[in-house]
Structure 1
Amino acid sequence: MSSIPFNKLMFLYIGTLDFESDFHYYKSVLGGKLHWAFDRFGAKVAAFKIGEGPLILIADHLTAPTCMPIYEVKDLDATVMELRNKGWKEENGPIGIPNGPCYTFKDISGNSFGIFENKRPTVAEDSYRDKDNEYQIIK
């Protein structure tokens, strides 16, 4: 692991109480650019770009208010091993997210974070452009 443990902050994973209302807010009120939106595995998730920095992912399967930073790491297995050697414990993982394997964890105060290896960097965008994808939400 480098002197800085993680690479780029890729996503802010946001819980929503009302997906449709939040979707409208991020798209129409804030003027966010919709990157993709899916209703799959019992969850609605949409990705918006609202400024420089990470994508905002609104998700109806996360309890609101929640804001979980998700960081990319170069080598997930090596990072997890090094962190475990320092006393780190994962909350969940490895779990699959569209971009690749992911672990979630909490800091000492209970704040949630995620780390993942970006093995499929464009998979969500590519799937959203596929007009035959039955899981996409078109708005």
Structure 2
Amino acid sequence: MPQRFPFQQLDYLYTPSTDVAADSRFFTEVLGGRLAFAIEGMGARVAMIELAEGPPHVLLTDHLEGDRPIFVYRVEDLGEAVAELKNRGLKKERRIELPMGPCSTFVTPNGHRIAVYQQVRTEVLEHFMGRKDW
């Protein structure tokens, strides 16, 4: 019997940045991506870059600690996905709240970061689209 994956789709590469504006320019002007939004609020800057027609999209942010991106996967049921990942030996790093819905992040034994989230607020992303705060 094939093993069931808890992931529906890789939606975002949540990427730390020391200069979100400069990184956004590089991703758009050099790599040809489209700046979907650039928002500033609560002491943080976040920009979403679309490098292809569909996901995953790059989220550049100055409030994310560490050097590695977080691979953010959408799941149908967050509780089931978290239980399955723990069952497979992942240690829960922490529970966070994304604008699109609740999320749990994990770190693999070699330091890669993954997250699973349940999309419950689709209208939030639509609200951000096209917004340019800087």
Name the TM-score, length of structure 2 as normaliser.
Answer: 0.85
The answer to whether structure 1 residue 67 and structure 2 residue 62 are counterparts is no
2-structure distance, mates of 1:88, 1:114: 11
2-structure distance, mates of 1:49, 1:138: 18
The structural deviation recorded for 1:38 is 1.2
The answer to whether structure 1 residue 19 and structure 2 residue 20 are counterparts is yes
Question: What are the superposed Cα offsets for residues 29-62 of structure 1, whole Å, 9 maximum, x if unpaired?
Answer: 2221122221122210110111253010011112
Instruction: Map 1:1-139 to 2 at 5 A.
Output: 3-51=4-52, 52-63=54-65, 65-93=67-95, 95-128=96-129, 136-138=131-133
Gaps of 5+ in 2: none
Name the TM-score, length of structure 1 as normaliser.
Answer: 0.82
Instruction: Give the conservation status (yes or no) of the 8 Å contact 2:6–2:84.
Output: no
Counting matched residue pairs gives 131
Gaps of 5+ in 1: 130-135
The structural deviation recorded for 1:77 is 1.2
RMSD of aligned residue pairs (Cα, Å): 2.0
2-structure distance, mates of 1:20, 1:38: 10
